[in-house]
Amino acid sequence: MRRMRRRIVQPLLRETELRKTDLIMPVFVDESISEPFPIASMPGQSRYPVDGVADYCERLWNAGIRAVILFGIPAAKDSVATEAYAAEGVVQRAVRSIKERLAEMVVVTDVCACEYTDHGHCGIVGETSEGPDLLNDPSLDLMAQIAVSHAESGADIVAPSCMLDGMVRAIRQALDAAGYQDVLIMSYSSKFASALYGPFRDAADSGFSFGDRTTYQINPGNAREAVMESELDAAEGADILMVKPAGVYLDILAAVTEFGLPVAAYQVSGEYAMIKAAAERGWLNERAVALETLTAIKRAGADLIITYFAEDAARWLDEEH
């Protein structure tokens, strides 16, 4: 084996090659700010104003990043996420701004209600046999409205993250009926009720005011359920499946590739923050660890990787070549 590890032949025999076109950058757009606002729990990341998001995306484009996924922070919230599907909502305006500046940038939009509801849950809340909780079926129409409003604004891909049963079918039917047959659905199909989302809730102002999300997200110990969730979404018409989080669920990622659809993996805020925090203390080499984790995610089967390291990784990959 040592013959194949000679430095001169290593580039020829490398099995997994990370590319800039594998990467999708998450972008937080805040309707209430006029300047970028740093996110304390995610060093190097910021919220961007609607008027400045195209400038930031142009910077990403110039770095070689060809896709972004947008998360909106509205100025006002209510119990039924009215601003999530408003024609002049924060994401809708941001999509139009980006596409006017960068027509070739692939714009993905997160389809959920947690940033837009005053209770912080991912849809309509009501009474259940176990107390107040997310109501699955009444929330499907809301997700369909959100997805269509994003498509009307110019989104190329809508990405439902709410983990509702039947969300892909409801969104596909609504998009097709509205004339947006070409808009793709990237489903958060295997999304776990993970403790690694903490910094994101700070970044997107999406914490919940009661209960938890275990009634609609997957228990971290459940592998068969996670794979079945992706199988169901594939059957409902998802174009791209997703595993979230990425790094500690590589077994699920590898299993989901068996359905034959493209698979995305989300290296979430907690995964990013842990690497950043250790690097700041001098315990890890940030660049080496970030690139290693991203390569591992791709090696496990990801075709696309959503990561807060996207811009830095693009620069590092340029430097390596």
Q: Are 194 and 270 in contact (CB under 8 A)?
A: yes
| Residue 99 designated active-site | no
Contact 132, 159 (CB under 8 A): no
CB 162 within 8 A of CB 110: no
Name the catalytic one among 77, 99, 191, 276.
191
The identity of residue 153, as a single letter, is S
The DSSP bridge pattern shows strands 106-111 and 157-160 to be: parallel
* Degrees to nearest 5, angle at CA 141 with 253 and 160: 20
Main-chain phi, psi angles of 205, to 5 degrees = 55, 50
CA 69 to chain centre: 6
Half-sphere exposure of 235 (CA within 13 A, CB side): 8
Name the phi and psi angles at 53, rounded to 5.
-70, -35
Please confirm, yes or no, whether 298 is among the known catalytic residues. no
Name the token pair of 199: 């910094």
The single residue of 77, 99, 244, 276 carrying the catalytic annotation is: 244
Residues labelled catalytic: 191, 244
